């Protein structure tokens, strides 16, 4: 079974800190995604990547950047964390651009104080 692993289950950071969220998948998937999950808003796409060193903005990229130096690893970066970035962050992967099924990690609950 595909495994998508997010490095932290819970994170507490201070306003203005630089925050790194890490995600690793073990099935050689081409596509990787970062979503944030907020009550009543569902899942909203922040960034995605379809290949190493490639990235595309999703629906809410402001305040975030990403890095994909290796195929299996996709990092989400908050350059200067703000309280409105307190949320559940979910990483996902899919085999390729034509494959519809997403595999999600268990999420990182980030609190920015």
Partner 1 sequence: QQQVKQSPQSLIVQKGGISIINCAYENTAFDYFPWYQQFPGKGPALLIAIRPDVSEKKEGRFTISFNKSAKQFSLHIMDSQPGDSATYFCAASLNNAGNMLTFGGGTRLMVKP
Using only the alpha carbons of the chain, give its radius of gyration.
13
Asked if 15 touches partner 1 (CB under 8 A), the answer is no
> From the CB of residue 35, how many other CB atoms can be counted at a distance below 10 Å?
24
Going by C-alpha positions, the residue among 63, 91, 67, 66 that lies closest to residue 5 is 91
Contact with partner 1 (CB under 8 A): which of 19, 46, 78, 92?
Answer: 92
Nearer to partner 1, 17 or 96 (CB): 96
CA distance 93 to 72: 9
* Site for partner 1 contains 105 (CB under 8 A): yes
Q: How far is the CB of 2 from partner 1 (least distance, A)?
A: 11
Q: With binding defined as CB under 8 A, does residue 107 bind partner 1?
A: yes
Q: Which residue's CB is nearer to partner 1, number 16 or number 52?
A: 52
* Residues 13, 81 contacting (CB under 8 angstroms): yes
Minimum CB distance to partner 1, residue 49 (Å): 12
Contact 75, 89 (CB under 8 A): no
Where along the sequence are the contacts to partner 1 (CB under 8 A)?
4, 31, 33, 35, 39-45, 48, 90, 92, 94, 97-107
């Amino acid at each position: 079974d595909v495994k998508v692993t997010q490095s932290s289950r819970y994170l507490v950071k201070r306003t203005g800190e630089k925050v790194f969220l890490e995600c690793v998948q073990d099935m050689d998937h081409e596509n990787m995604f970062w979503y944030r999950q907020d009550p009543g808003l569902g899942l909203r796409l922040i960034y995605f990547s379809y290949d190493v060193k490639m990235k595309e903005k999703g629906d809410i990229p402001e305040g975030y950047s990403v890095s994909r130096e290796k195929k299996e690893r996709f990092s989400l970066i908050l350059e200067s964390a703000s309280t409105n970035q307190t949320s559940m962050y979910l990483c996902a992967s899919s085999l390729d651009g034509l494959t519809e099924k997403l595999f999600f990690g268990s999420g990182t609950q980030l609190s920015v104080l």
